[in-house]
Amino acid sequence: NNNRRNIVGIKNNINRNNIKIRTIIGQSKGKYNRVELKGSDGKQGPYFLPSKDGQRNVIISAGSETVWLNGQKLTRGEDRDYTIDYTSAELTFTPKHLIYFDSDIDIEYQYSESTYKTNYVESGLEGAIGEKGQYSISYIDERDNSSISFLSSDQKTAFKENDIVYQSGVVQDSLGDYVYRSERFLFIFVPFNTQILTDEVRYSVTFSPDPTGEYVRKISDKNRIYYEFVFTDEIDNRQRYSPGRSLRPPISHQLLQFDSNISLSKGMSLSTEGAFSIEQNNLFSNRSESRENGNAFRMVLNQKAISLRKIQLGFGLEYWQNSSDFQSLSRDRSVNFNESWDVMNVKEGGESMSSLRTEIKIGSGLKSEIDFSRLARGDQKRDRTEIDLNYQGKLINSAGMRWNKVQSEIGFQELDGYIRLFNGPLTPYVTLVHEMRQKSYRFDDILVGFDLNRNNRSFSLGVGQREDQSASFNDPTKMETTQTGKVFQADYKSHRASGWRQEWMYRQRIQENDEGEKQNDFNSMRAAVNYRDRKSPFQLDLVLNSQTSMRESRAVVYDSIGVGLGHYRFDSQLNEYISDPNGAYVAHTVFTGDRRHGLQLDGLTRFSIDFSKWKFNRLENWKYRFFNRMDYHGPAFSLGNYQLNNNVQQSRLNMRNEFIYRKKGSQDRHLIWNQFTMNFNGLDTRGWETRDRIEYGIESQIGFQQKNHIIFDSNYHKTRVESENDRITSRYINGFYSEFGIKGRSTNQFQWEIKAIYYTDIIELGFYESKTVDANGIKTHWTQFIGKDGRIEGNMEYYLANGFESMPPEALKGVANKQTIRANIMASMFLGKSLSVNATLFYIDDDRYDGFIKL
């Protein structure tokens, strides 16, 4: 039972008279899914984590993933094995592991499901069987909450007889972007600001994936997603869509499991597992075809090693079987089971496996395991032999070999081996990987290198070669070389008592086809330098990541989902999408299919000086901080020919300097800062755009009385926005912001803040004359704590702006023209350590939104 879930709920454990009882009641943070896939040559990522239905637009529950590569469990982190973007469901491997076309990738995770929430109940009992055994009983019920859902009563009734119910996505709407052409029985995309015939009616239409659909997704000249009718014979392999969507019913999955372990004699034990599963694919239906009942059984007889002088001998017998309808809640076998048996993860009726395992140890140096197994899936049978050898000694520090052979209609074999020499600081090594499937493919991979460890320093160097072959078209029994690859890798780490730490990593792989032509050139470098010393006033963090490889270009497109539901709004005057938490559009990053050889570069620098640790007493109340972040995706370049053009997808830079003054024991605090940001965006298919901003600011907090402070915040700024061929309205803005107020706390449970504001900017829009705008207003914020576990927060803002209708969002901190009123209140309460209840009410009334309320 490898069941693992992120649960929000209540957990209870009772231990009485050597019997343990556990209960878990809660709600799962997402649906469980597992994907098995092969890698792609030269592609470290991203690899997508879809829903069970194959949809990509899901959000992964943070921390729920378990990632395996070629049977090895990996660890998340930029300096470790992989990184993951939970919001876009994308996983990327670090250069520590080079990915090939045959790399076996296995990922388990939970993803958010907007259709239904999932309730989770688990109970278990553990106890002893006399003095020689243990037992456990567990029951798990995981089901969609059918009572709290968006379904109408008619849809619930329809589900009683059908497992799929159609929901119309067509709504008559005067602001809609589609027009229905009755003579052709189809919807035509006609944006709202486009003239239509007097007898035509506008509709808002929601499209969903449909294998039999007659619409395809396209991108307009405004970079918006829309759907267009295409005759079925012209769709080819493009994904199809239809108006509306197909709804699936709520489902449930129950599992009852019995486990036991009994000691038969010294060193010998018998373990058994029995499980019954019930999967109901439609909770609204009582039809038998919506219900699947299955069972599984496993028995293991294990004898620990018996000593015969210098030889230790052990063995094990195992047998298990699963019925055709048995469904486990998660992975129920070893992660590389399918790869070791060379089978696909496809149900072929019931399955069973029997195996005999022997273990032999000779002295303290040699250990071997031999496994003979038979797998039956439906009418098919496979026999497998696996031999594992491990050795440790003096001249040979360590060595290992695994040979795996599967006998069926098509033979399959794997060989993995390594050898490391010497016990001193210098350790040469050789690794070998071989895999072959008859009449299909073969590859051989060898790596030679050495490790050097001395005085808190380590250095590793390796060079290797890989050859890939495939079956000849004319004679499948013969193999022909299709490509060869050369690998170079180097690592260096050091940790000194002086406080300096360094970590350097470099990887390079060059692939050539059978004619010696270069197909792929991948190289990657990571450098990390840190300095920390308690007595020193200086601190430094420097991280640089660089990767050159074939990457698929991306583009950002926008889709309208309704006012208040998106994150962007479209400004027709500026001809661009503007970030807005109450907007009607959401942004999607899609792949264009264009693969280019390019550079991905990102870096981070942090440097600080604490003058209280320096010898100059006059500066003891001061601190200095520097922060720099950079990110670049585009063609490889040198410092002498760096250019921003259409080939660059993204280039961002953020630099900030801070001088902080705070006297020890004083409530007063002053901050002087400046910041420069540059954002070049080439992801828009309509052309590039660049946004630069430089700011200088002062922030002060001066205490008066015991619980109150005077607060002051001001800055001077310049902003420049330009685009290719003036696609969006170019503009130059410079101005001054200031906020002055008081904050304090009346009691330990209540905090408050009130500010008066004044903003002014000079705006140059395109070729028009410059305009001066300004705004006055007041801002308030308060927090009321409720005990230790709850709080209520409120904000209210009032602005009166003297501007114009098409003011850019960079002016006046995004405040709309004329009067603006914003208010929101948020309440939260923690119920235990991991469960909380939250509610937010938002109100805005300005030139863009007329009395808009969002709950």
Q: In the 3-class helix/strand/coil scheme, how is 88-135 assigned residue by residue?
A: CCEEEECCCCCCCCCCEEEEEEEECCCCCCEEEEEEEEEEEECCCEEE
Predicted pLDDT of residue 533 = 92
Q: What is the mean pLDDT of residues 124-141?
A: 92
CA distance 72 to 40: 18
Backbone angles phi, psi at 158, to 5 degrees: -65, -30
pTM (predicted TM-score): 0.78
Q: What is the mean pLDDT of the chain?
A: 87
435 lies in some domain: yes
777 lies in some domain: no
Q: What is the mean pLDDT of residues 496-508?
A: 93
Predicted pLDDT of residue 203 = 84
Give me the amino acid identity at 836: S
In the predicted structure, residue 245 carries a pLDDT above the cut 80: no
Please state, as a whole number, how many other Cβ atoms lie within 10 Å of the Cβ of residue 456: 11
519 lies in some domain: yes
Helix, strand, or coil here: 396?
A: strand
Predicted pLDDT of residue 594 = 66
Least confident of 132-136, 732-736, 826-830: 826-830
Q: What is the mean pLDDT of residues 357-365?
A: 92
Last residue of a domain, one of 211, 230, 247: 247
CA distance 431 to 70: 15
In the predicted structure, residue 653 carries a pLDDT above the cut 70: yes
Predicted pLDDT of residue 371 = 97
Predicted pLDDT of residue 237 = 60
In the predicted structure, residue 641 carries a pLDDT above the cut 70: no
DSSP state of 44: -
Pick the residue with more confidence: 47 or 41? 47
Rounded to the nearest angstrom, the gap between the alpha carbon of residue 345 and the centroid of all alpha carbons in its chain is 24
Q: What is the mean pLDDT of residues 361-384?
A: 92
Predicted pLDDT of residue 608 = 97
Confidence of residue 266 (pLDDT cuts 50, 70, 90): confident
Predicted pLDDT of residue 621 = 92
In the predicted structure, residue 1 carries a pLDDT above the cut 60: no
442 lies in some domain: yes
Q: What is the DSSP string of 602-666?
A: EEEEEEEEEGGGSS-GGGTTEEEEEEEEEEEEES---TTS---STT--EEEEEEEEEEEE--TT-
Look at the block and give the residue holding tokens 């903003």: 759
Query: Is 844 exposed, middle or buried (CB count within 10 Å of its CB: 0-12, 13-18, 19+)?
Result: buried
Q: Are 351 and 322 in contact (CB under 8 A)?
A: yes
CA distance 460 to 420: 13
Q: Are 179 and 203 in contact (CB under 8 A)?
A: yes
CA distance 449 to 465: 12
Last residue of a domain, one of 510, 531, 552: 531
Confidence of residue 548 (pLDDT cuts 50, 70, 90): confident
Total number of domains constituting the chain? 2
Measured between alpha carbons, how far is residue 137 from residues 122, 124, 262, 320, 671 in Å?
Answer: 11, 6, 15, 19, 61
Give the domain extent around 457.
424-531
Predicted pLDDT of residue 84 = 93
Q: What is the mean pLDDT of residues 570-597?
A: 77
Most confident of 77-91, 691-705, 834-848: 691-705
Helix, strand, or coil here: 233?
A: helix
Give me the amino acid identity at 134: Q
Which residues fall within 8 angstroms of residue 428, CB to CB, at 6 or more apart?
A: 420, 421, 422, 448, 449, 450
Q: What is the mean pLDDT of residues 577-589?
A: 81
pLDDT digits (tens, 9 = 90+) for 310-321: 899 999 999 999
Predicted pLDDT of residue 664 = 84
pLDDT digits (tens, 9 = 90+) for 384-439: 999 999 999 989 999 999 999 999 989 999 999 999 999 889 999 999 999 999 98
Measured between alpha carbons, how far is residue 602 from residues 91, 108, 805 in Å?
Answer: 17, 28, 39
Confidence of residue 762 (pLDDT cuts 50, 70, 90): very high
Least confident of 206-220, 241-255, 412-426, 729-743: 206-220
Confidence of residue 834 (pLDDT cuts 50, 70, 90): low
Last residue of a domain, one of 531, 561, 585: 531
336 lies in some domain: no
pLDDT digits (tens, 9 = 90+) for 136-152: 999 999 998 877 667 77
Structure tokens at 271: 């373990």
Predicted pLDDT of residue 168 = 77
pLDDT digits (tens, 9 = 90+) for 463-490: 999 999 999 888 888 899 999 999 999 9
CA distance 332 to 320: 11
Confidence of residue 491 (pLDDT cuts 50, 70, 90): very high
Predicted pLDDT of residue 776 = 96
Q: What is the mean pLDDT of residues 253-258?
A: 94
Predicted pLDDT of residue 141 = 94
Peptide linkage before 211 cis (omega within 30 of 0):
no
Q: What is the DSSP string of 320-350?
A: EEE-TT---SS--S-TTHHHHHT--S---S-
352 lies in some domain: no
Predicted pLDDT of residue 586 = 80
pLDDT digits (tens, 9 = 90+) for 58-68: 889 888 999 99
In the predicted structure, residue 720 carries a pLDDT above the cut 90: yes
Q: What is the mean pLDDT of residues 803-822?
A: 91
Half-sphere exposure (Cβ direction) of 494: Cα atoms closer than 13 Å:
14
Predicted pLDDT of residue 693 = 96
Q: What is the mean pLDDT of residues 371-375?
A: 97
Query: Is 415 exposed, middle or buried (CB count within 10 Å of its CB: 0-12, 13-18, 19+)?
Result: middle
Which residues fall within 8 angstroms of residue 477, CB to CB, at 6 or more apart?
A: 438, 439, 471
Please state, as a whole number, how many other Cβ atoms lie within 10 Å of the Cβ of residue 153: 7
pLDDT digits (tens, 9 = 90+) for 665-682: 888 999 999 999 999 988
32 lies in some domain: no
CA distance 503 to 639: 24
pLDDT digits (tens, 9 = 90+) for 598-621: 888 889 999 999 999 887 788 889
Pick the residue with more confidence: 704 or 263? 263
Look at the block and give the residue holding tokens 């089901």: 143
Q: What percent of the chain is modeled with pLDDT above 90?
A: 48
| Pairing, β 351-362 against β 366-377 | antiparallel
645 lies in some domain: no
